[in-house]
Amino acid sequence: MIRIAVDAMGGDFGPSVTVRACLAFLDSHPEAGVVLVGQPDVLATQAQFPRIQSHPRCQVLAATEVVTMDDPIEVALRRKKDSSMRVAITQVKNGSAQAAVSAGNTGALMAIARYVLKTLEGIDRPAIATQLPNAAGGATTVLDLGANIDCTEDHLFQFAVMGSALVSAIADKPSPTVGLLNIGEEAIKGSEIIKKAGELLRSAAKSGDLNFHGNVEGNDIFKGVVDIVVCDGFVGNVALKASEGLASMIGGFIKAEFSRNIFTKAAAIVAYPVLSAFKNRVDHRRYNGAALLGLRGLVFKSHGSADAFAFERALNRAYDAARNNLLERVQERIAHAAPLLAKAALGPAGATGAEVPVVQADPMPAH
Amino acid sequence: MIRIAVDAMGGDFGPSVTVRACLAFLDSHPEAGVVLVGQPDVLATQAQFPRIQSHPRCQVLAATEVVTMDDPIEVALRRKKDSSMRVAITQVKNGSAQAAVSAGNTGALMAIARYVLKTLEGIDRPAIATQLPNAAGGATTVLDLGANIDCTEDHLFQFAVMGSALVSAIADKPSPTVGLLNIGEEAIKGSEIIKKAGELLRSAAKSGDLNFHGNVEGNDIFKGVVDIVVCDGFVGNVALKASEGLASMIGGFIKAEFSRNIFTKAAAIVAYPVLSAFKNRVDHRRYNGAALLGLRGLVFKSHGSADAFAFERALNRAYDAARNNLLERVQERIAHAAPLLAKAALGPAGATGAEVPVVQADPMPAH
């Protein structure tokens, strides 16, 4: 049985969201189990707690501490050693669970996951990957979203490999297409690092390690030109947040125009079914659950403000990743592409292997 | 009289758009003049050409060549020396016009403008600045949008100074606020370059050279937290294009939902006035006219796909910039802030003054 370890205390709403989401998840996944980690006294205040506590496929595990949204990474990592977040990740480490999900502080989650699980062989830096809806009716997976601000071509290449493994596992696409985010489609565009990453990706495409589409531009993320868009964490974070800002502005404008006067309010009633169909189509909750890739264990990050519906989506995603052996897929692909990286490393601009800070930016404060 | 030199041939629609826009501009600006530059035989095919040709405040100037959208920079710069684009910019150089406007190839425009006009003293690299609508009901000016992909802290600082001058001239805000685009609001976030740029900007704020707000994140562009957002051209280009992609996806979804069946089509009719008010609110045509800043002359870039309404907006913007002495404002501000930059240059990471390619990315192919 695949078990998901859940940090019940994380996120803006803690157990009031996580417990309900876990129950719904267990209902819809008769083969799955949950390890629910939290402070017993807080969990006990939840109306639905007795139901989950007595659930045959749920194990409740006590943790005495909670990582808060503004805990510095050092505090989360060094001082709160019995946090619900850490205990959940430890379940993955010791094999009691196949994936961990938390809606808590992203920086702390990445730091603890990296410390407890370590990175996979061949991966210099873990990355954060999320899905965004696209005009083609599917989703585009974008990485990195803020774990790494300065990336070499090797890092970008590893992101491409990990992203391909993720999409092949979760979206059931055996050979998803990869685009390198750039400021023009031509191979001569961009910084030296981008150009070298492009060369690596083209070599990998030739040897069948990747399905490399070529350079893509910012608008292609939402056009759905490729399955995976690869970029450094600074660019990815800015692009994601700019998009969130724009979506929220547009939503605000639509609302404002429909509430202007009695006539527009009447129009809103008539248009309601259409507007809610539209809203459903761009509902970011459906895409909740960012993957922390490159670790020796599966960890998924839910938005802090997720409701039970959104949190359940993150649980589903973690379950699909575990069920489809995401970890093995990443490992296999990285091992297969290793000769390419080794060859590139002989050049002057190979990976330095230097240790870097764990997480630079929280990709998801805005929803 | 302030005269605007217009590249009549530029853009997807050439004179069919530019001639009409110039007539409307002359009508609404009784103090302004236009120097219309184009191929006489093509201009003569326009129904409205006789009207503008006989207009007392319009001078028609012949150019034998046209820079096309896919002309390489070298061709535009070295081979087409009598292009409408170049002749228009030359009018600014020789004082016959106070600003030039073109809807042509951005890379060629920046290259020719830089070659003909040269950069201002104290400016290492010209930048491209545009305005985006924000939820606060105003506009956020963002730069750079693709002229420079690798920027030092000095470049970012110069962008802040130039952006402040632009907004003070065009939006009549004497002390507009500046935000440094980053992946977190705290001063400790971001790359070394971003941190150093933040230090420079804080010093400038102390000495009264700038109204520095601090770091901003991607979503703040559309929230309208600050008047000006400063970033390198790679990040700015990706953020702008990602936003364009998202806006276009949302527009497509709204359209699709309203045309689903006879009921939703009826709802669309009822909601039409509201939807068009909304559309007007996010109409990118209103924000047409990106400024090429840092040159010894005013040059504005219109979207290639601009219609007459949008092109006229770019003309208005160029006119306002000339009327409010944008060039002098930039020069004054740069001169005033020079001691700060000189001080910073004594440090190990001062500007190298190295020559860089003229334009890296066209910021505006998507509309």
Q: Is B160 on the interface with A (CB under 8 A)?
A: no
The alpha carbon of residue B271 is apart from the nearest alpha carbon of chain A, in Å, by 5
Gap between the Cα atoms of A317 and A74, Å rounded: 29
- Answer whether A38's CB lies under 8 Å from A113's CB: no
Considering the domain architecture, whether residues B179 and B225 belong to the same structural domain is answered as yes
- Answer whether A29's CB lies under 8 Å from A319's CB: yes
Considering the domain architecture, whether residues B142 and B263 belong to the same structural domain is answered as yes
Interval B242-255 mean pLDDT: 87
Binned at pLDDT 50, 70 and 90, residue B358 comes out as low
User: Which strand (E) or helix (H) includes residue B359?
Assistant: none
Rounded to the nearest integer, the mean pLDDT of chain B is 89
Where do the H-state alpha helices sit in chain B?
15-28, 40-44, 49-53, 73-74, 84-93, 106-117, 153-170, 192-206, 218-223, 233-258, 262-281, 308-323, 326-346
Sheet containing B177-181: order of strands: B58-62, B32-38, B2-7, B99-102, B298-301, B290-293, B127-133, B139-143, B228-230, B177-181, B211-216
Considering the domain architecture, whether residues A105 and A179 belong to the same structural domain is answered as no
Residue-number span of the structural domain to which B79 is assigned: 2-117
Q: Does A255 or B322 have the greater pLDDT score?
A: B322
Q: Which of B238, B257, B270 is closest, CB to CB, to A267?
A: B270
Gap between the Cα atoms of B301 and A348, Å rounded: 40
- Answer whether B334's CB lies under 8 Å from B122's CB: yes
The confidence score (pLDDT) of residue B357 equals: 45
- What is the rounded radius of gyration, in angstroms, for the C-alpha atoms of chain B? 21
Where do the H-state alpha helices sit in chain A?
15-28, 40-44, 49-53, 73-74, 84-93, 106-117, 153-170, 192-206, 218-223, 233-258, 262-281, 308-323, 326-346
Q: Indicate the DSSP class of residue A48.
A: T
Task: Give every residue of chain A whose pLDDT is below 70, as ranges.
Answer: 188, 344-367
- Answer whether A334's CB lies under 8 Å from A161's CB: yes
Considering the domain architecture, whether residues A82 and A158 belong to the same structural domain is answered as no
Q: Nearest 5 degrees, angle CA A104-CA A107-CA A112? A: 85
Taking alpha carbons only, the member of B311, B281, B304 closest to residue B364 is B304
CATH of the domain at B188: 3.40.718.10
Give me the residues of B, 271-300, that contact A with CB < 8 A.
271, 273-275, 277-278, 281-282
The confidence score (pLDDT) of residue B313 equals: 95
Instruction: Tell me which of B82, B117, B152 is where a domain ends.
Output: B117
Q: Within 13 Å, how many C-alpha atoms sit on residue B98's CB side?
A: 19
The confidence score (pLDDT) of residue A366 equals: 36
Binned at pLDDT 50, 70 and 90, residue B280 comes out as confident
Per-residue pLDDT reduced to its tens digit, B18-41:
999 999 999 999 999 999 999 999
- The residue of B149, B240, B249 whose CB has the most chain A CBs within 10 angstroms, and thus the best one to mutate to test that interface, is B249
Indicate the Cα dihedral angle A184, A185, A189, A195, nearest 10°.
130
Interchain proximity B240–A218, CB inside 8 Å: yes
- pLDDT of B365 > 70? The answer is no
Considering the domain architecture, whether residues B102 and B221 belong to the same structural domain is answered as no
Gap between the Cα atoms of B36 and B9, Å rounded: 9
Asked if residue B315 belongs to a domain, the reply is no
The confidence score (pLDDT) of residue B184 equals: 78
Q: Indicate the residue type of B129.
A: A
Give Cβ neighbours of residue A137 (< 8 Å, ≥ 6 apart): A224
With the C-alpha atoms ordered B54, B55, B56, B61, is the resulting torsion angle positive or negative? negative
The alpha carbon of residue A335 is apart from the nearest alpha carbon of chain B, in Å, by 31
Considering the domain architecture, whether residues A132 and A71 belong to the same structural domain is answered as no
Instruction: Tell me which of B92, B117, B142 is where a domain ends.
Output: B117
Binned at pLDDT 50, 70 and 90, residue B363 comes out as low
Gap between the Cα atoms of B239 and B221, Å rounded: 10
Task: Find chain B residues with C-beta within 8 A of A150's C-beta.
Answer: 191
Considering the domain architecture, whether residues B232 and B105 belong to the same structural domain is answered as no
Asked if residue B303 belongs to a domain, the reply is no
Per-residue pLDDT reduced to its tens digit, B40-85:
999 999 999 999 999 999 999 999 999 998 888 899 999 999 999 9
Interface ipTM = 0.84
Gap between the Cα atoms of A17 and A8, Å rounded: 8
Considering the domain architecture, whether residues A202 and A335 belong to the same structural domain is answered as yes
Parallel, antiparallel or unpaired: strands B32-38 and B2-7: parallel
Q: Number of structural domains, chain A?
A: 2
Considering the domain architecture, whether residues A253 and A278 belong to the same structural domain is answered as yes
Q: Is B225 on the interface with A (CB under 8 A)?
A: no
Per-residue pLDDT reduced to its tens digit, A351-363:
443 444 455 566 5
The confidence score (pLDDT) of residue B273 equals: 83
| Tokens coding A312 | 């359940």
- pLDDT of B366 > 60? The answer is no
Considering the domain architecture, whether residues B165 and B279 belong to the same structural domain is answered as yes
Polymer length of chain A: 367
Per-residue pLDDT reduced to its tens digit, A17-31:
999 999 999 999 999
The alpha carbon of residue B12 is apart from the nearest alpha carbon of chain A, in Å, by 19
Gap between the Cα atoms of A106 and A366, Å rounded: 13
Q: Is B305 on the interface with A (CB under 8 A)?
A: no
Longest distance between any two alpha carbons in chain A, whole Å: 70
Instruction: Tell me which of B74, B93, B117 is where a domain ends.
Output: B117
Per-residue pLDDT reduced to its tens digit, B195-235:
999 999 999 999 888 999 999 999 999 999 999 999 999 99
Chain A residue nearest residue B151, CA to CA: A191
Gap between the Cα atoms of B219 and B217, Å rounded: 6
Q: Which of A183, A242, A277 is closest, CB to CB, to B218?
A: A242
Burial class (CB in 10 A: 0-12, 13-18, 19+), B100: buried
